[in-house]
Amino acid sequence: MQTVTLNTGAEMPILGFGVFQIPADDTERAVTDALAAGYRLLDTAAAYGNEEAVGRAIKNSGIPREDLFVTTKLWIQDSPAQDNATRAFDASLGKLGLDYLDLYLMHQPFGDVYGQWRAMEELHRQGRAKAIGVANFYPDRLVDLVSNNEIAPAVNQIETHPFFQRTADQDVMREHGVQIQSWGGFAEGKNNLFTNPVLSDIGRAHGKSVAQVVLRWLVQRDVVAIPKSVRAERMAENIDVFDFQLTDDQMASIATLDTGSSLFFDHRDPAVAGQLGKRRLTD
């Protein structure tokens, strides 16, 4: 598996398995199948409600802990955010049944971001979170966080797919030593992604599916991806993207698909900020 080197020096697999929107009852089987297919990066979140199922799959896999790269995420915390963030971390770690996390991400750029980040910095210093990062931060918020704290995020997980490519955002991240990670790499099939003529033609040229073309495109851009599936055959297909290379012309063709806009929600939208900023987990 190809890896990227984080600003901590840790090696992170460039392709992993995400469990967003997989029901808790299906998650253990899905993660078990993903591990069997060769995935070693697992991505979950407190807000997904399936950390315990991920933890059971890890425990029953027999795979040495040091061979796995496990990520979960901190939801928005009420004041005092620093204390509450530490308690939330402990709760997630307990549900996962782990002694440490490879990566702990702040899930949303809302609430007392700096109180939450200070707690995460301390968890990193203690070695309980080997790396810390953020999700859904636009460049201005990211640079502000980097400029006003001791530890820079190792990762920023953001919506990234052929219709919202985030190349300028990635340039800013590179400048500050932050690794870009994609969520929604397949755009959840929006804009008829899986039948898109550009992607389909490139797939036919390589004998690959549109999904494989998209993942290969992300890999060649040094974007970490976490495709989700509940089908073992699709998991195997998604990880089989290291035996072909997109040409410069093919990469340029995919670049023309960029709309420059989110297909889901814009974290800079006041309505989105208000909605997400008020949401709290029940436990």
Closest by Cα among 196, 206, 212, 215 to 253: 196
Active-site residue flag, 39: no
**At a CB cut-off of 8 Å and minimum separation 6, what does 25 contact?**
53
Both tokens assigned to 219: 């890999």
Contact 183, 18 (CB under 8 A): yes
Residue 127, CB-side half-sphere exposure with 13 Å CA sphere: 1
Number of Cβ atoms within 10 Å of the Cβ of 22: 23
User: Rounded to the nearest 5 degrees, what angle is found at the Cα of 117, between the Cα atoms of 11 and 111?
Assistant: 130
**Residue in 48, 100, 104, 138 annotated catalytic:** 48
DSSP 230-244: S-HHHHHHHH--SS-
Both tokens assigned to 190: 């929006």
Could you list the active site residues? 48
